[in-house]
Amino acid sequence: MKDVRLLRLVLAVAAACLLGACGGDPDPPSAPQAPSALSVPSPGTASAGPGLIAQLRQGGYVLYIRHAATESAQDDPTPDLNDPGTQRNLSAAGRTDAREIGQAVRRLRIPIGTVLVSPYDRTRETAEIAFGAGRPRETRELISEGFPGTDDARLAEQLRRLLRQRPSAGTNTVLVSHGFNITEAADISIAEGDMVVFNPAARQPLTPVATIGVDDWRSLRG
């Protein structure tokens, strides 16, 4: 009898273990997996290759450029937009950077249509050096958020509208403005002279296609 009872006990314990009551669950369910993130090219050289240049040659993109490198002096608290002496202006290095951007755009045969700029001297000069004197058109929709009396939310909405506007066929639109503006409008931070490429025709037009650093232009090939 003892042997029978012992056999029954052993069988019961074995059955319990098989059901998961002994030693933990032998095959626990997998933890829910988070959706994998979309693969987005990193800003800079990694995303600025021949494929991107070929796309830009087709036109249809909006190119947002933060003005080129500036001097260390700051804007006056109430700068006069008609007096560069009250503003932080391009440095010699910034003028060189703007010139190299323009030379690279022409060398790579990237068609440029409308060029809109903030009324500040540093944005206008960046655009004129890069794309030609008399070419840029000033608009208060791109003015620095630091200008007295500006409404940051309104400026951001105006910039988002410009980034969604499709360029004329076969061309790319250029917007030359300031760092704070693109951060407020699209949550993007860029250095002086950097360009962010947007596709207004995309389902999410404010998602950047690529960022081209100011130093990347020297090595870009199409």
pLDDT recorded at residue 38: 26
Instruction: Give the count of domains, the chain.
Output: 1
In a domain, 72, yes or no: yes
In a domain, 167, yes or no: yes
Domain with 108, as residue range(s), is: 60-218
Give residue 158's identity as a one-letter amino acid code: Q
What is the percentage of the chain residues whose pLDDT exceeds 90? 73
pLDDT recorded at residue 49: 78
Residue ranges in the chain modelled with pLDDT below 70: 1-48
Q: What is the per-residue DSSP string for 196-222?
A: EEE-TTSSSTTS-SEEE-TTGGGT---
Radius of gyration of the chain (CA): 29
In a domain, 93, yes or no: yes
pLDDT recorded at residue 47: 55
Alpha helices in 115-178 (DSSP H): 121-131, 152-164
* CA separation, residue 158 to residues 70, 139, 218, 220 (Å): 25, 11, 32, 31
User: Which residues have CB under 8 Å from 210's CB, separation 6+?
Assistant: 41, 43, 47, 48, 52, 196, 197
In a domain, 210, yes or no: yes
The DSSP symbol for 25 reads -
pLDDT recorded at residue 8: 53
In a domain, 32, yes or no: no
In a domain, 14, yes or no: no
CATH label of the domain that carries residue 145: 3.40.50.1240
In a domain, 35, yes or no: no
In a domain, 179, yes or no: yes
For residue 180, the surrounding DSSP H or E stretch is: helix 179-186
